[in-house]
Structure 1
Amino acid sequence: MPPDPVRKPAPRQAGEERVHASAIAVGEAGLLLRGPSGSGKSSLALALIGLAGLGGRFGRLVADDRTALAARGGRLIARPVAPLEGIVERRGLGLTPEPATPAAVIRLVVDLTGEEPARMPEPEELVDNLCGIDLPRLRVAGRAGDERLVLAALDLFTGRD
């Protein structure tokens, strides 16, 4: 169901930051997908959810386009921003419903840069600090096939075999 244009966005909670990003959950790990408009955040989110499902893993949307972030107990929590809960943009179709989960603990930040990432990034490029929490970061170009690299990085950074 498309968002209600009359419904006002929910007020921010204390300590909450809203970012232009999408978030998904794969297993128990949340991924924050950042990039400029049109960079492929929604497409990557859907590809990751699909690939996770093919591998027998839980994969769900948390938020598309706008994500609320807050540090809680030393973890970064991502939630959707009303009125966009359970809605994802599918290029060519517009805003469409998508099964969603209400929150996820972010374990990996993925930046869609639109350009080829460095072959051997410097260690400081592999970390970002959001809301006072250091998280592993991966940069991808934002093209088909990036979902495999992102899931491999998630498994590496979370210690999943």
Structure 2
Amino acid sequence: MIRSAREGIPDDAVNLHASVVVLDAGAVMIRGRTGAGKTHLALALIDEWQRKGRFARLLADDQVFVMRRDGRLTARTPHATAGLAEIRGVGIVEVPHEPAAQVDLVVDLVEQDAPDTPLSTVRIEAVDLPLLTLRHRDAAASCVSVARALATIRAVPGGQNGEIMLASDNDLGLPSRRGRTT
């Protein structure tokens, strides 16, 4: 039986070319041109989070439906590709997945060096989201940058239900930035 990608998806949902990974209680949307390493980064983030005993699952690979709900951007898995990831040089593999999550961060993978500003903002479906621009094809460094960006974002008052969520580099298992000049 052939399944429609829009099966069960609300009419107001928009299809985007992006991969989405759920890390802890929120999601990271990874955008970039074909071959930029979206899936590679998504799977590297899942591996890193799970290695540290934290929750991580793929939500969508390469295509995702998004919609605004209660002032937040919600990502939904297309049914036709639910639980599937296409790994360059390997093919399509089955992976555990989550059907939906609220997006906390957008990552743009670019060819040139990333800008000096650690975070900027992007508007998707009338929702302003933190945007992290990273050089493509550098998953190890990108995992560290994403973890730090999420720690910063989730430490801001007024998150979900107004709570303050704090996470230090040490909580994330990251190398200390103390004494670093870069």
Query: When the two structures are superposed, what TM-score results if normalisation uses the length of structure 2?
Result: 0.80
Equivalent residue in structure 2 for 1:139, among 108, 127, 133: 133
Partner of 2:16: 19
The alpha-carbon deviation at position 144 of structure 1 amounts to 2.8
CA distance in 1, matches of 2:96, 2:75: 16
RMSD: 1.5
Say yes or no: does 1:77 pair with 2:77: no
Partner of 1:129: 123
CA distance in 2, matches of 1:52, 1:135: 22
Say yes or no: does 1:152 pair with 2:158: no
CA distance in 1, matches of 2:124, 2:3: 29
The alpha-carbon deviation at position 55 of structure 1 amounts to 1.9
Q: Which amino acid aligns with 1:33?
A: I
Equivalent residue of 1:116, what SS?
coil
Show CA shifts across 1:105-147 (max 9, x none): 00000000122101236xxx70011111111000001213211
CA distance in 2, matches of 1:105, 1:9: 20
CA distance in 1, matches of 2:107, 2:87: 19
Matches within 5 A, 1:7-156: 7-10=3-6, 13-120=10-117, 126-142=120-136, 143-145=138-140, 146-156=142-152
Count the aligned residue pairs.
Answer: 154
The alpha-carbon deviation at position 23 of structure 1 amounts to 0.4
CA distance in 2, matches of 1:127, 1:82: 29
Larger RCO, structure (CA 8 Å, separation 6 or more): 1
Equivalent residue of 1:128, what SS?
strand
The alpha-carbon deviation at position 155 of structure 1 amounts to 1.1
Show structure 2 runs of 5+ residues with no match.
156-165, 168-182
Q: Which amino acid aligns with 2:31?
A: R
- Kindly indicate which of the two structures has a greater share of residues assigned to strand: 1
User: Bigger CA drift: 33-42 or 137-146?
Assistant: 137-146
Equivalent residue of 1:152, what SS?
helix
Equivalent residue of 2:80, what SS?
coil
Show structure 1 runs of 5+ residues with no match.
none
CA distance in 2, matches of 1:79, 1:40: 21
Query: When the two structures are superposed, what TM-score results if normalisation uses the length of structure 1?
Result: 0.90
